[in-house]
Chains A and B, each alone.
Chain A
Amino acid sequence: MTLLISVFAAIIATIVWYKNAPKDEWNTGMLALMYWGASLMWMCDAIFEYAELKDEFFNPAVADMINDSFLGLTVVALGLVIWLVALLVKDPKGVLKAKFQTKKIN
C-alpha cells in the first residue's frame, strides 16, 4: 500500500510538473523526483519481500493494509512538507524577501 500510494503521488506530481513545464516556478519537479526516488526504493524492497514471502506477499492482513495506508499518507504529507520548506527557502516569487526588505526600510 505504501508503494502504491507513493507511486500515485509521484504520478500526480509529474503531471503537475509537466503541465507547467518548461517553467517550474513552484519547484514541482523536485517533488516529483522525491516521490519517484521513494517509489523506486519501495519497489526494490517489495521485490526482496516477494522473494521471501512468495504468494503470502499478495495476501496481507487487513490490519497491516490499514497500517501501511496510514504510513503511505504520512509519507506523502512529509514529502509535501519538505517541498514546501524548499519552496519557501527558494522563494521564487520573492514574497518573503520583499516582506523582510519592507520591514527593514520601516
Chain B
Amino acid sequence: MACFIVPATEAIVTTIAAKVLAKKEMNTEIHHEGSSEIIEKTGFSRKLNWLNNMLWGGSALLALEHVWHGEVVPWFPFLTAAADAADRAEMFHEMATVGVSMAALVTVTWGIMVLVSSRLEKRATKTATQKN
C-alpha cells in the first residue's frame, strides 16, 4: 500500500547525514595534507552512500510497483488507501510491519557490509605496517 515510504524517509535522513559527514571528512583531509603517512581508507560518508543507494533505489523501484498496482496516483491524496478511514488504518499497519522490516533488513545488510569492509581495511593496514 505505502510500505516504500518508510525506507524513503530513512533515505532522506541518511542522505543528509552523509552530506554533513562528507563535509567534515573533507575538512579533516585538508588538515592532514602535510602528513607523510598515507592510509587509504573508505570514509564513513562513502559507506553511508552505499546505504543511500540501496534505500533510494529500492524505494524508487518499489514506488513503481505501487503505481503499477494503482496504489499510488498522481492526484491528492496520492495514495488510494489514504482516501478511506478503514484503508488508512490498514495502510499504517502495513507501513509499521512490512515498511519497517524492509528498512531494517536493508540497514542490517549495510551494517554487515560496513563491518566486513572495516575488517578488510584493518587487515590491509596491519599487513602494510608489518611490511614496513
Binds A, one of B25-33, B84-92, B101-109: B101-109
Interface residues of A in 29-50 (CB under 8 A from B): 29-30, 33-45, 47-48
Assess the A41–B68 pair: CB atoms within 8 A. no
Q: Does B18 contact A (CB under 8 A)?
A: no
Assess the A45–B102 pair: CB atoms within 8 A. yes
User: A40-B109, A75-B64 known; A34 and B98 CB under 8 Å?
Assistant: no
- CB-defined contacts of A82 to chain B, threshold 8 Å: 57, 60
Q: Which residue of B lies closest to A43 (CB)?
A: B105
By size class, the interface of chain B is 20 to 34
A61 to chain B, nearest CB (A): 15
Assess the A33–B57 pair: CB atoms within 8 A. yes
B93 to chain A, nearest CB (A): 11
Assess the B101–A40 pair: CB atoms within 8 A. no
Q: Which residue of A lies closest to B11 (CB)?
A: A37
User: A48-B97, A74-B64, A79-B61 known; A41 and B102 CB under 8 Å?
Assistant: yes
Assess the B101–A48 pair: CB atoms within 8 A. yes
User: A40-B106, A44-B98, A45-B98 known; A33 and B54 CB under 8 Å?
Assistant: yes
Assess the A38–B57 pair: CB atoms within 8 A. yes
Interface residues of B in 86-132 (CB under 8 A from A): 97-98, 101-102, 105-106, 109
User: A33-B53, A45-B3 known; A38 and B68 CB under 8 Å?
Assistant: no
Bound: A45/B109 CA distance, A = 16
Q: Does B72 contact A (CB under 8 A)?
A: no
Q: Which residue of B lies closest to A42 (CB)?
A: B62
Q: Does A88 contact B (CB under 8 A)?
A: no
Assess the B53–A37 pair: CB atoms within 8 A. yes
A50 to chain B, nearest CB (A): 12
- CB-defined contacts of B50 to chain A, threshold 8 Å: 33
Bound: A90/B56 CA distance, A = 17
Out of A6, A74, A79, name the residue touching B68 (CB < 8 Å): A74
Q: Which residues of A are at the interface with B, using a C-beta cutoff of 8 A?
A: 2, 6, 29-30, 33-45, 47-48, 71, 74-75, 78-79, 82
